[in-house]
Amino acid sequence: MAQLHLENLNVYQRSIALALNIYMLSQLWPKEHLFGITDQLRRASLSISLNIAEGYGRTRKDFQRFLVIARGSCYECLPIIKIASSLKLLSTAQEQTYYNELIEISRMLSALKNRLGKS
């Protein structure tokens, strides 16, 4: 397999875009949610790209483990998105958009992990 470059990984780029979108979106939420749902969603979404980057700088086996952790962060975001929607912090359309993006990033992480295992 050719050498991967972190910044060129589509999953890395998308995870950064997701975190930025979540930060911008959550800035509009009432401050009463700042130390609960807002903070947790921001940290979980940020954790996706951070784990990809940290794992990239380690061994192939460690990278695979960090991709699993990043995938877990995707799944951590899902119930938070659902709760945010239930609290009317997100529209149904926004909930579906974020849900779909998290599932797609999760699939991409799994595919990258599997690709690394075959090399």
- Reported as a single tens digit per residue, the pLDDT across 29-51 is 999 988 899 999 999 999 999 99
For residue 108, is it within any domain? Answer: yes
* pLDDT the model gives residue 31: 92
Q: What is the CATH number of the domain that holds 65?
A: 1.20.1440.60
CB 73 within 8 A of CB 47: yes
Contact present, 85 and 46 (Cβ < 8 Å): no
What pLDDT is attached to residue 1?
A: 41
Question: Total structural domains in the chain?
Answer: 1
This prediction has a pTM of: 0.92
The fraction of the chain above a pLDDT of 70, given in percent, is: 96
Which range of residues forms the domain containing residue 52? Answer: 6-118
DSSP summary character for residue 36: I
Q: What does the pLDDT look like over 61-77, one tens digit per residue?
A: 999 999 999 999 999 99
Residue-level pLDDT at 3: 55
Tell me if 1 is assigned to some domain: no
